[in-house]
């Protein structure tokens, strides 16, 4: 088996990028327990090398802020409608402006057109702001 990052980081990025906020918040422990269960099944006889469920929860809690930051960073791009994304990719100047310089206007314009896009971005940013007020209280990764 190989390992590239802490299990909590993998889980945090997966849950923050793939699960809607309400689902993640309401079912977080269930989703992590399910992940752990299937990880043990996958490992089979090597299960003794796996972290305990408590270790997985702790690792996730220590890295939730990283998952939230990843969502805030990626969502403006990955949640774009395919047509809009293609429009940006087809023009190297527009893509460079969006990806490397300043995407605020493009994101704001698209938020006005797509309510779901706006809601996902706002929810992620709001959660990151909430976390920022509690940084001193958040668990520190070992």
139 vs 137: CA distance, rounded Å? 7
Neighbours of 133 (CB within 10 A): 8
Q: Say yes or no to pLDDT of 18 above 90.
A: yes
Question: 101-112 pLDDT, tens per residue?
Answer: 999 998 999 999
pTM (global) more than 0.75? yes
DSSP designation for 52? P
The values of phi and psi at residue 80, to 5°, are: -65, 145
Mean pLDDT in residue range 2-25: 90
* pLDDT, tens only, 20-79: 999 999 999 999 999 999 999 998 887 787 899 999 999 999 999 999 999 999 999 999
- ∠ CA 38-40-42, rounded to 5°: 70
Predicted confidence at residue 48, as pLDDT, reads 81
Tell me if residue 16 falls in helix, strand or coil: helix
Question: Nearest 10 degrees: CA dihedral of 97, 111, 73, 31?
Answer: -150
């Amino acid at each position: 088996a190989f390992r590239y990052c802490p299990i909590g980081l993998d889980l945090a990025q997966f849950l923050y990028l793939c699960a809607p906020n309400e689902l993640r918040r309401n079912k977080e422990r269930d989703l992590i327990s399910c992940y752990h269960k299937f990880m043990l099944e996958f490992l089979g006889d090597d299960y003794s090398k796996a972290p305990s469920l408590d270790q997985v929860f702790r690792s996730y809690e220590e890295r939730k802020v990283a998952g939230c930051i990843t969502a805030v960073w990626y969502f403006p791009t990955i949640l774009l409608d395919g047509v809009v994304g293609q429009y940006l990719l087809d023009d190297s100047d527009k893509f460079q402006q969006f990806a490397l310089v300043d995407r605020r206007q493009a994101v704001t314009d698209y938020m006005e057109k797509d309510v779901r896009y706006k809601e996902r971005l706002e929810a992620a940013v709001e959660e990151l702001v909430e976390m920022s007020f509690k940084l001193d209280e958040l668990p520190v990764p070992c």
